Every structure is written in C-alpha cells, then in structure tokens.
C-alpha cells in the first residue's frame, strides 16, 4: 500500500479521543508499511468548497452527461482537487466523533463535495455504479454514549448506517468500523478502558492491511 488518506473530522486535536484510536491504527500501519504516505486532510482547517448555487448547478450539468468548462469548470477546480485526492488513495481512514447521532457537519460538507456523478458514481442502464471500489476504508469513531446493538440507544445511531450507505453508494463496501464508546456517559475510567480496547482493535486491523 502506497498511500492512505486520513480524513480527520474531530476539531479537538490532541484532546480528541477519536484520534487517540486513529494514532494506534496509523502507528501499526507505519510499522507494517514503512514507505506508506499518510495524507492528512483535516475538514476543520483544510479548505472545503462551499456548495453554492453555481457549484450545485455543475452537479446537474454532470448528471445530464455534460462537461464542466469555462467559468463553471474554474468554479469546480477545488471540488475536482478533492475528488482526485480522494480517488488517488489506496485506502481511507476516516476519524469522526458522533455529533447529534451522525457525523460533524464539516465531514458531511466534504462528502457532499466529493460524491459527484462521473467521478464517484455513474448511472447505467442497470442502476447506479460506484466508481471508487476495490479498496478498504477504516472508520474510527467515538461517541459520548453507547450505541451498541442491544442497547436502548442503538436505533439512534445514524452515523454508521449513513457512512456505510454513502460510501457503499460510490463502491466502497469494505468498511471496518472501530468505535470507542461510551466516552462521556459512564465516566472517565470506562472511557479509558474503551479507548484501550478500540486501540487494540485498531492495531489488529492495521496488521490486516
Ligand atoms: C456538537 C457535539 C454533538 C455531540 N453529539 C453527540 C451525540 O449525538 N451522541 C453522543 O453519544 N455523543 C455526542 N457528542 C459527544 C462526542 O461524540 C464524544 O465526546 C466524542 O468522544 C468526541 O470525540 P473527539 O474527542 O474525538 O472530539 C457530541 C459532542 C459534540 C461536541
């Protein structure tokens, strides 16, 4: 593996519990693939284009089978850069906290930017075809509460189903979730223990790459 794109969606830097787990994954991955380039994209500090009315117009041009040239092409330069950066990775690591049962809005904005017809999916006579398949994704998530199957809050988890759906739509179906939970609801000792468990799973997952 030559290149992994690490999409960071926690704004909390060193205080981030999600990133503590992701660092365990990346440490083990570096040991296994010392030459692997880790491309870090922080959705809070990197430029993510806004989906303004003319940018959205471009999406409909593409859906109609047209090309983006002239001023629309220029307007889309930032979108295309993000798409190319996403597609040039051999694997993806997404580090995201749960925010209001789903993902932080800046990660949603990034997904809205890159999921474009012609580039990440296309319509065919037999249905939608995802164009980003054949590679693995790891999602490291952390949550204040506990959303495991069998818990009362499990039906509130819109994060894992959403990410599986949207990335599955573009062909990324091999997704491993590593979740640290509960981070806030049961106190710091439980949180530390769950982080340790998630870190162990993260290291084990990295060894399968
Ligand atoms: C804006 C915001 C919304 C949150 N919403 C939820 C939520 O819906 N469910 C939950 O369990 N935790 C929620 N949390 C708590 C975080 O998911 C939890 O603290 C997580 O570990 C933070 O990850 P981080 O340390 O990597 O930033 C929320 C936190 C913030 C800041």
How far apart are alpha carbons 66 and 68 in whole angstroms?
7
Three-class DSSP category at 199: helix
Asked if residue 12 has its Cβ within 6 Å of ligand 1, the reply is yes
From ligand 1's centre to the CA of 142, what distance in Å? 7
Looking at the CA of residue 98, tell me the nearest atom of ligand 1.
17
Asked if residue 143 has its Cβ within 6 Å of ligand 1, the reply is yes
CATH code of the domain in which 86 resides:
3.40.50.360
Q: Which domain holds residue 194?
A: 3-207
To test the ligand 1 pocket, which listed residue (18, 143, 160, 162) has its Cβ within 8 A of the most ligand atoms? 143
Q: Are 91 and 135 in contact (CB under 8 A)?
A: yes
* Helices and strands of the chain, counted as H and E runs: 7, 7
> Which residue lies with its CA nearest to atom 24 of ligand 1?
16
To test the ligand 1 pocket, which listed residue (106, 152, 159, 183) has its Cβ within 8 A of the most ligand atoms? 183
Is this prediction's pTM over 0.95?
yes
Number of domains in the chain: 1
pLDDT tens for residues 16-64?
999 999 999 999 999 999 999 999 999 999 999 999 999 999 999 999 9
How far apart are alpha carbons 107 and 7 in whole angstroms?
8
Q: What's the confidence (pLDDT) of residue 1?
A: 85
Per-residue pLDDT of the chain (209 residues; tens, 9 = 90+): 899 999 999 999 999 999 999 999 999 999 999 999 999 999 999 999 999 999 999 999 999 999 999 999 999 999 999 999 999 999 999 999 999 999 999 999 999 999 999 999 999 999 999 999 999 999 999 999 999 999 999 999 999 999 999 999 999 999 999 999 999 999 999 999 999 999 999 999 999 99
Q: Are 144 and 188 in contact (CB under 8 A)?
A: no
């Amino acid at each position: 593996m030559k290149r992994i794109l690490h999409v960071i969606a926690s704004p909390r830097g060193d205080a981030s519990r999600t990133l503590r787990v992701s660092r365990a994954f990346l440490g083990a991955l570096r040991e296994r693939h010392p030459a692997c380039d880790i491309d870090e994209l922080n959705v809070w500090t990197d430029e993510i284009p806004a989906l303004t009315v003319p940018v959205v117009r471009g999406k409909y041009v593409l859906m109609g089978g047209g090309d983006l040239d002239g001023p629309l092409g220029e307007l889309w330069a930032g979108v295309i850069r993000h798409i190319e950066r996403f597609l040039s990775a051999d694997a993806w690591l997404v580090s995201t906290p749960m925010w209001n049962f789903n993902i932080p809005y800046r990660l949603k904005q990034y997904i809205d930017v890159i999921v474009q017809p012609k580039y990440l999916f296309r319509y065919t006579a037999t249905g939608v075809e995802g164009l980003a398949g054949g590679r693995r994704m790891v999602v490291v998530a952390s949550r204040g509460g506990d959303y495991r199957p069998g818990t009362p809050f499990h039906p509130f988890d819109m994060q894992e189903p959403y990410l599986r759906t949207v990335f599955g739509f573009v062909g990324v179906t091999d997704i491993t979730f590593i979740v640290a939970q509960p981070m806030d609801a049961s106190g710091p000792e439980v949180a530390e223990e769950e982080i340790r468990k998630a870190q162990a799973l993260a290291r084990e997952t990295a060894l399968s790459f």
